[in-house]
Structure 1
Amino acid sequence: MSNFGDGIPFKNVEFALRIALVKAEMEKREIDALLISEPSNICYLTGYEAWSFYVFQMLVVHRDLEEPVWIGRFMDAVSVRRMTYLSDQSIRPYSDDYVQSVDRDPVDFLVSQLREFCPTLRAVGVETGSFYYSGHTHVRLLSLLPDVQLKDAELLINWIRIRKSSVEIEVMREAGVIADAMIKEAVDAAEPSMRECDLAAVLYRRMISGTSEIGGVYTSSAPYVLSGTRAGEPHAPWSDRIIGTDVPVNIETAGCRRRYHSPISRTIFLGKPSDAYLKLADAVTEGIEAALEVVKPGVTCAEVEFAWRETVARHGFHKEARLGYSIGIGFPPTWGERTASLRASDLTVIDEGMAFHMMPGLWLDNTGVTITQSFVVTARGREDLTKFPRKLIVK
C-alpha cells in the first residue's frame, strides 16, 4: 500500500523542484509575483486539496521568497497546515466577514498582504483564463495596484505540470486501479431492469471506497451514464429511466487519488447489437489501437490524431471533436489540464512523462460508442494507466 492516502503526499524535494521550475518561467517573463487561483495549480505546488475553492483563495509565488504564500478563509487554514509543507508565516488567512460580504472584499486583503510580504511588486502574473479568477478580482486588482503591471500568466503552471514525475505517475497508477474496479463493478451490475441513476450509484460507491488497499475520492466531473437513444449525448446527466433491452450504455468516469485522475470510458451493450452498431464499435476499437501504436516521445499530438482519423475514415466515419487531452491533477469542473490536445491542429511534441486520456468516442445522432484509454508516455512508448479490455462489452 502506498503512503499517498493522507497528509502531505510527496517529499519536500518534489515540491521544491516544482517551485524552481515555476520561478524559472517567471524570471523569463519578468514576473515578480504570481497569483495562482486554479486549485489544480495550488495543489501541484503545495499538496493542498481541500474544498475551499468556492470562496476566494490565492497562492502567491514570489521569485525572491523561498515558500509560496497561501491566502484564504480562516477555517481552511487548519487543512493547509496538515496537507502542506508551508510554515505558519506563509499561511495568511482572512476573517469570515470577508466571505460573500457586501462590506469587505477579500481582494483588498490579498493586496494588503502582497504589499507586506513581497520584496518587489513591479509585475504580477495572473491566471486570466482560470475558472476561479473572476472579472471582479481582475478589475479590483487593477484599481488597487495602479503602480503594478498585471501580466497574463494563463497556463504558465499547467504547461510545467504536463510532464509528470515518477511519484506522480505512481499516484495515477493507483487512480487507474480504482477506475478499472469501477468499470468492472458497473459491468457486473448492469441489467435491463436497472435505472441509469442506480448504475451511477454503483460507480460512485467504488469511486469513493476504492479497493481494500487504496481509497478513492470524488472526481472532478460526475460520471456520465447514458443509455439507449441518449447514448448519442456525450455530456448529459443520468436520469431515472429504465435502461431496457438491446441498447448501449455509455459510461465515462475516472478513478481519483489525491486529486490525480485516470479516466476511463466503456460501452456496455445489453442484448444483441445490430450489425451496424457492431461496425461502429469495430471502427472505434481499430482506430484507438492504431492511434495508441503511434504514441512515443518525439511525435506530435497531430500525428497521433491522424492515425485515428485515417483508420476510422476507412470505415466511413469521422470525428469532429478532439481525440484526447492531457490529464493529471483535477478539480471541478474538469480533470483535463487545459494544455495539449490530441487533434489535427495541435503540433505539441509528445514527451516522456506526459499523460493523456485518449477519448475516441463516436456519437452519431441517437447512438454512440465510447471506448477510451488513459496512458502516460514512457521513454519508448506508453504505459496504460487503466487495464480494462478495450472492446465493446456485450452482456
Structure 2
Amino acid sequence: MPGNVFPRSEYERRVERTRARLEARDLDALVVSDPANMNYLTGYDGWSFYVHQAVVLTREHDEPVWVGRDMDANGARATTWLAEPNVRAYSDDHVHSPHDRHPMDVLATVLADLDVETGRVGVEMDAAYFTARAYERLRSRLPEATLVDADLLVNWLRIEKSDREIAYMEEAARISEDAMMAGIDAIEPGVPEYEAAAAIYDRLIRGTDEYGGDYPAIVPLMPAGDHTGTPHLTWSDREFASGDPVLIELSGCRHRYHAPLARTAFVGDPPAAVEETAEIVVEGMEAALDAAEPGVTCEAVETAWRETIARYGVEKADRIGYSMGLGYPPDWGEHTASLRPGDETVLEEGMTFHVIPGLWEDAFGVELSETFRVTKTGAETLAEFPRRLFTV
C-alpha cells in the first residue's frame, strides 16, 4: 500500500469526488485508461501502459477495481491501496493474441461482475492508450451497455492540487533546477548534443542530496543551431558550435509529479536580435505571471502576455501554457485549462500551470518557461532559476 506517497484518506477523497461526477453525469461506471488518472485514483505506478489496463469505478462499490496484465498484478498490489478482490488480472495470451482474445474481454467480465453491464459506462475516448480496437471490442462484449464519452472527467478533478501534491511538485522543481544547470554547463563548442542530454538525465534521475528523481513524462527537449525554430526536437550526434542558440526544456519528477522548466543558451556572443527577443520573452512572461491570481481567467493571463509583446510588434498565435502536474508518457499536461484566447477557465487557489511563452522564428527561437501554482495572492513559481538568456 503506497502510504509513503499519499495517505489512504487522500485516495478516498479523490474517489468520492469522482463518484459525485459520475452521479452528475448519470453514469453507472467509469473506465479509466489514462495512466495518470489510474494513478490518481489508486496509486498504481508501473511501466505497463503499453498493454491495455484500466481502473473501473462505479457509483455503488466502495473501491475502484484495477484490471491489467497478470504479470503486473503484483505491481498493483505493491503500489495501490486496493483490497485483493479489487485487483483483477488477465492472462498473457490476451496480449497481442493470435487467438482472438483481447483484454477488453476480461474488462467486460469485470463490469458484469460489478452489475453495470447494462448501464451507462463512461470511457476516456481521447486517452492515449485507449485504442479504437479496445473501444470496439468493449462495445461488442457489452451489447446492452451504453458507452458514453467521459473523457477528461478525472482530469478536471486533478486540476486543483492538495498540499502534498504541491510538495512533490516543489521537490520536482529542485531537480529541474539542478538538471537545467547541468545541461547548460555541458554545452560548449565541440561537445556532442547527446553529452548535454546525458548530463541532464543524470541529474533528473540522481535528484538531490535528499531524494532521487523519477523518469519524466517527456524526454528533455533540446533543439539547437538551425533547429531552434522548432520546439519539440530532442538531441543528436551533432556537436555544438559557436553561434548556436540552444533551447532546453525539461522537468524533474517526484512520484509522477512534474515541474517543467525551459531556458535558452547561446554558444558565444549572441547577436542583438537574439538578445532583444529574449528580453521581450522575459518581459512578457513576467506580465503573464503578474496577471495570474484567483478569480482571473486563463484568457486574461494570456492577454497580459500578448499585449506586452505587441508593444514590440511581436505576435504569437499559440497558447502560452496549460495545467499540469501528475503525468506519464507521452506528456505531463492535464489536457484541461490552457492559457490562450477564449479559455474562460477561472484560476483558483491550488491550480498549477506550465507557462511557456516561447517565440520560435524561422531563423532562431527563444524559449523560457516556469511552473507556477496559484496562491491566495497570485502566481508563485516553483523553481528558483535565473530568468534570462544564458551564454556559454
* TM-score computed with the length of structure 2 as normaliser: 0.97
Q: CA deviation at 1:348?
A: 0.7
Q: Residues 229-285 of structure 1: CA distance to partner in whole angstroms, max 9, x if unpaired?
A: 111111122111111012211101101111111101001112111111111111000
Q: In the aligned structure 1, how far is the partner of 2:69 from the partner of 2:313?
A: 55
Q: Check whether the contact 2:117–2:144 (CA below 8 A) recurs between aligned residues.
A: no
Q: Residues 327-372 of structure 1: CA distance to partner in whole angstroms, max 9, x if unpaired?
A: 1111111111100000012111111111000001100002011111
Q: Residues 283-324 of structure 1: CA distance to partner in whole angstroms, max 9, x if unpaired?
A: 000100111000100000010001101111111211111100
Q: In the aligned structure 2, how far is the partner of 1:91 from the partner of 1:113?
A: 10
One-letter code aligned to 1:278: E
Equivalent residue of 1:351, what SS? coil
Q: CA deviation at 1:117?
A: 2.8
Matched, 1:321 2:318: yes
Matched, 1:284 2:271: no
1:74-89 to structure 2, matched below 5 A, reads 74-89=70-85
Task: State the match for 1:40 in structure 2.
Answer: 36
* Structure 1 portions without partners, runs of 5+: 1-5
Q: In the aligned structure 2, how far is the partner of 1:176 from the partner of 1:304?
A: 22
Q: CA deviation at 1:122?
A: 1.1
One-letter code aligned to 2:199: V
Equivalent residue of 1:225, what SS? coil
Equivalent residue of 1:136, what SS? helix
Task: State the match for 1:163 in structure 2.
Answer: 160
Matched, 1:108 2:105: yes
Q: In the aligned structure 2, how far is the partner of 1:276 from the partner of 1:112?
A: 62
RMSD value over aligned CA atoms? 1.3
Q: CA deviation at 1:196?
A: 1.0
Q: In the aligned structure 2, how far is the partner of 1:327 from the partner of 1:370?
A: 18
Task: State the match for 1:16 in structure 2.
Answer: 12
Q: CA deviation at 1:118?
A: 3.3
Task: State the match for 1:372 in structure 2.
Answer: 369
Q: Check whether the contact 2:117–2:145 (CA below 8 A) recurs between aligned residues.
A: no
* Structure 2 portions without partners, runs of 5+: none
Matched, 1:352 2:359: no
One-letter code aligned to 2:53: Q
Task: State the match for 1:3 in structure 2.
Answer: none
Q: Residues 4-24 of structure 1: CA distance to partner in whole angstroms, max 9, x if unpaired?
A: xx7651001100110010000
1:204-353 to structure 2, matched below 5 A, reads 204-353=201-350
Q: In the aligned structure 2, how far is the partner of 1:371 from the partner of 1:379?
A: 25
Q: In the aligned structure 2, how far is the partner of 1:99 from the partner of 1:277?
A: 51
Q: Residues 184-208 of structure 1: CA distance to partner in whole angstroms, max 9, x if unpaired?
A: 1112222112111111111111111
Equivalent residue of 2:342, what SS? coil
One-letter code aligned to 1:290: A
Q: Check whether the contact 2:118–2:142 (CA below 8 A) recurs between aligned residues.
A: no
Q: Residues 205-235 of structure 1: CA distance to partner in whole angstroms, max 9, x if unpaired?
A: 1111111111101111111112111111111
Match of 1:29 among 25, 37, 52: 25
Match of 2:176 among 168, 176, 179: 179
Task: State the match for 2:133 in structure 1.
Answer: 136
Q: CA deviation at 1:121?
A: 4.3
Q: How many residues are aligned here?
A: 391
Q: Which moved more, 1:222-231 or 1:331-340?
A: 222-231
Q: Check whether the contact 2:28–2:121 (CA below 8 A) recurs between aligned residues.
A: yes
Q: Check whether the contact 2:108–2:117 (CA below 8 A) recurs between aligned residues.
A: no
Equivalent residue of 1:352, what SS? coil
Q: Percent identity?
A: 47
Q: In the aligned structure 2, how far is the partner of 1:201 from the partner of 1:219?
A: 14
Q: CA deviation at 1:120?
A: 7.0
Equivalent residue of 2:326, what SS? strand
Q: Check whether the contact 1:297–1:351 (CA below 8 A) recurs between aligned residues.
A: yes
Runs of 4+ aligned residues of structure 1 deviating over 4 Å after TM superposition are none
1:148-159 to structure 2, matched below 5 A, reads 148-159=145-156
Q: Check whether the contact 1:32–1:121 (CA below 8 A) recurs between aligned residues.
A: no
One-letter code aligned to 1:117: L
Equivalent residue of 1:365, what SS? coil
Q: In the aligned structure 2, how far is the partner of 1:192 from the partner of 1:249?
A: 12
Q: Check whether the contact 1:7–1:82 (CA below 8 A) recurs between aligned residues.
A: no
1:188-207 to structure 2, matched below 5 A, reads 188-207=185-204
Q: Residues 54-77 of structure 1: CA distance to partner in whole angstroms, max 9, x if unpaired?
A: 011010001111110000001111
Q: Residues 128-185 of structure 1: CA distance to partner in whole angstroms, max 9, x if unpaired?
A: 1111111111111221212111111010000011000111000100010100010111
One-letter code aligned to 1:291: A
Equivalent residue of 1:232, what SS? coil
Q: Are residues 176 and 121 of structure 1, via their aligned partners in 2, closer, same or farther at CA, if it must alter by over 3 Å?
A: farther
Q: Are residues 53 and 7 of structure 1, via their aligned partners in 2, closer, same or farther at CA, if it must alter by over 3 Å?
A: farther
* TM-score computed with the length of structure 1 as normaliser: 0.97
Q: Check whether the contact 2:294–2:376 (CA below 8 A) recurs between aligned residues.
A: yes
One-letter code aligned to 1:78: N
Q: In the aligned structure 1, how far is the partner of 2:90 from the partner of 2:3?
A: 23
Q: Which moved more, 1:73-82 or 1:138-147?
A: 138-147
